[in-house]
Amino acid sequence: MDVKEALTRLSAYCSVAERCRVDVEEKLFRWGVERETAEEIIATLESERFLDEERYCRAFIRDKYLFARWGKVKIGLALKTKHLPSTVYAPLLDEVIDESDYLSGLRALLTAKRKTVRAANVRELEGKLVRFALGRGFTIEDVRRCMDISEENE
């Protein structure tokens, strides 16, 4: 595959949805493009704004929070696996996700999960809810705040 064809195909690939550098590098690797050529193609895509780390992070954070209901910890780890610098995504976590929506979303998750969990006593129930929320990527502090609030409301 020559540079022009790869650039055309990757421009279309990046236009469909937000992509990060790692996604494009994997594509180029599968196509058998040499490392130097791949770097040249990626540099062109970045200069033409087909690739933009901050824009990708914003979209990723918004989608994972709204649709997958992930917490900030899990979102941050997922972005880290994409080899994105924490200096890019860490400030965006607080900027993109509204704190009150974040906590009300966690409360709603815990309330829904509480209805399906079978536990012998309150302590076991709380343990299961905490493990569930931690697995979704919420911090223990946020879980404690939401469990206290949600128990008061019931």
More confident residue, 154 or 118: 118
58 Cα distance to chain centroid:
9
- Worst-scoring range by mean pLDDT, 38-42, 102-106, 149-153? 149-153
Quote the CA–CA distance of 64 and 109 in Å, as a whole number: 14
Q: Assign 152 a pLDDT band (cuts: 50, 70, 90).
A: very low
DSSP code per residue over 116-140: H---SSHHHHHHHHHHHHHHTT--H
Residue 64 is predicted with a pLDDT of 97
Domain definitions of the chain by residue range: 3-47, 53-96, 99-153
Per-residue pLDDT band for 154 (boundaries 50, 70, 90) equals: very low
pLDDT at 150: 45
Residue with tokens 């905490």: 130
For the chain, give the mean pLDDT: 93
pLDDT single digits (tens) 130-148: 999 999 999 999 999 998 6
pLDDT, position 151: 45
- DSSP labels, 59-91: HHHHHHHHTT---HHHHHHHHHHTT--HHHHHH
Whether the per-residue pLDDT at 2 is higher than 80: the answer is yes
What is the number of residues in the chain?
154
Answer yes or no: is pLDDT of 117 > 80.
yes
Give the distance from CA 23 to its chain's centroid. 14
